[in-house]
Structure 1
Amino acid sequence: MNIEQLKIFLTVANTSNFSVSANKLNMSQSTVSKQIKELENYLDCRLFQRTTRSVSLTPEGKYFFGIAKNIVHSMDIARLNLKKNGKEFTLGYLNTYADKIFMPQLIKAIHKKFPTWDIHVKEVFLDDILNGLIHGNTSIVFGEEDCFEGEKHVKFYPLTKSNYYLITSSKSFVRNYKSIKISDLKNVPLILGNIRNYLQTEQHLHDKIIDEIGRSNIEYADDMMIMTLFIKAENKCGILPEYGIDKTDKSLNYIPIESDIYTTFGFGYLDTLPLSINLDTVTNLIKQVYKNYLQVCY
Structure 2
Amino acid sequence: MTIATIEPFHHSTSPVNQLAKVVGDDLLVPLLGGSEVRYVNLDYAASAPALVEVLDFVNTVIPFYASVHRGAGYTSQVSTSLYENARTTVRRFVGGRSDDLVIFTRNTTDSLNLLAGCVPSTGEVLYLDVEHHANLLPWQQLPHRSLTAGVTLADTLERVRAELSTGGVSLLAVTGASNVTGELLPISELAELAHAHGARIVVDAAQLAPHRRIDISRDGIDYVAFSGHKLYAPFGAGVLVGRPDWLDAGTPYLPGGGAVRRVKVDSVSWATGPAR
TM-score, normalised to structure 2, is: 0.31
Greater fraction of residues in strand: 1
Greater fraction of residues in helix: 1
Larger radius of gyration: 1
Q: Which has the higher contact order (CA 8 A, sep 6+)?
A: 1
